[in-house]
Amino acid sequence: MPWFPDFVSAVQLARRQNRQAGRADPVGQYFAALIGGDLETLEVVWPGEVVVHDPRAGEVRGHRELRRFVRQNQDWLAERHARIETVAATCAGGRAVVELLARLDGARGDLDWPVAVVAESPDERSVVFRTYCSQLPVDGRRHLRGPILEPGPVRLNDVVDHYLRALEAADVAAAVKLFAGNGYLREPIGADRIHRGTAELGALFSGWFSSGGIELNPRLMTDDGVRSALEYTCCAWGGHDLPPQAGLAVYERDENGSLAAVRIYDDIEAPVTPGSPPAGTTNAP
């Protein structure tokens, strides 16, 4: 049977190509599995351990749990006729951060839901996915999201470092100054929650800082020179200690190094203090 070695070679080549494609676009493979139920591709590309950190399901570990998780999500997304649009991708150091906009059918019409997914491969056979978002747009309430990553040294750079310092110091002028003239900040609670330009950003930060600064503890940075995707834990806001909560923000620079955009993915709520905005109107950066 002279064809047999060629057949084996073809299968090995197909497997290798599938694995290379998965590594090139791990988040695309992941969402294809979530929406279409195509677990076979994930299992071929990542035959080792697959771990998912999901805001709704918690930690999903191993292919058996992954199959159950995918089935449940497939039903949930199908009920809402989900359409996924890629906003941006930041890749560096063997890690990919993909920002998505999930368009869902809601009770009051179409709903745009910002979601970010981090894909990281600790070895040739395994992958870890970390999803960040606010659940307020889809079920009307926030959910406490505990820390995902352990503390570790993070080298902050240029404008991101200055921005975090301005948040902690509750310095409205310093925070606004870091943005380009047409720069914007998008809150995690909806694609329409955009604050653009000096006046809108100033009003936003004034509300955020009404009782003090915001403390974000960096956990992991993915930086491609244009965008910095920072995974963090928020522990304090306005002098109030908060239960440690995980989040991610993407800081996009313009050609001058100013902030062209800040896009936030978390479910962190400001502590209630006298004069605070009503619940549901603000999120931490």
Are 124 and 163 members of one domain?
Answer: no
For the cut 70, the answer to whether the pLDDT of residue 64 exceeds it is yes
C-alpha to C-alpha distance for 245 and 146, rounded to whole angstroms: 5
C-alpha to C-alpha distance for 155 and 28, rounded to whole angstroms: 28
| Per-residue pLDDT at 70 | 87
| Per-residue pLDDT at 12 | 44
pLDDT > 90: percent of the chain: 49
Q: Domain containing 53: what range?
A: 3-139
Residue 276 lies in a domain: no
Q: How many domains does the structure of the chain reveal?
A: 2
Are 125 and 198 members of one domain?
Answer: no
| Per-residue pLDDT at 22 | 62
Residue 20 lies in a domain: yes
How confident is the model over 129-144, as a mean pLDDT? 90
Query: Mean pLDDT for the chain?
Result: 85
pLDDT band at 166 (very low <50, low <70, confident <90, very high): very high
Residue 121 lies in a domain: yes
Looking at residue 123, which CATH number applies to its domain? Answer: 3.10.450.50
95, 110, 139 — which closes off a domain? Answer: 139
Q: Is 224 in contact with 91 (CB distance < 8 Å)? A: yes
pLDDT band at 11 (very low <50, low <70, confident <90, very high): very low
Are 131 and 232 members of one domain?
Answer: no
Higher pLDDT, 8 or 261: 261
Are 77 and 12 members of one domain?
Answer: yes
C-alpha to C-alpha distance for 184 and 176, rounded to whole angstroms: 10
Are 23 and 88 members of one domain?
Answer: yes
Are 13 and 122 members of one domain?
Answer: yes
Most confident of 55-59, 63-67, 260-264, 280-284: 260-264
Residue 222 lies in a domain: yes
Are 168 and 244 members of one domain?
Answer: yes
How confident is the model over 85-107, as a mean pLDDT? 86
Are 167 and 195 members of one domain?
Answer: yes
Are 23 and 124 members of one domain?
Answer: yes
131-145, 235-249, 263-277: lowest mean pLDDT where? Answer: 263-277
C-alpha to C-alpha distance for 81 and 77, rounded to whole angstroms: 6
Check: pTM over 0.75? Answer yes or no: yes
pLDDT band at 249 (very low <50, low <70, confident <90, very high): very high
| Per-residue pLDDT at 40 | 79
| Per-residue pLDDT at 280 | 40
Are 262 and 174 members of one domain?
Answer: yes
For the cut 60, the answer to whether the pLDDT of residue 15 exceeds it is no
77, 104, 139 — which closes off a domain? Answer: 139
Q: Is 33 in contact with 22 (CB distance < 8 Å)? A: no
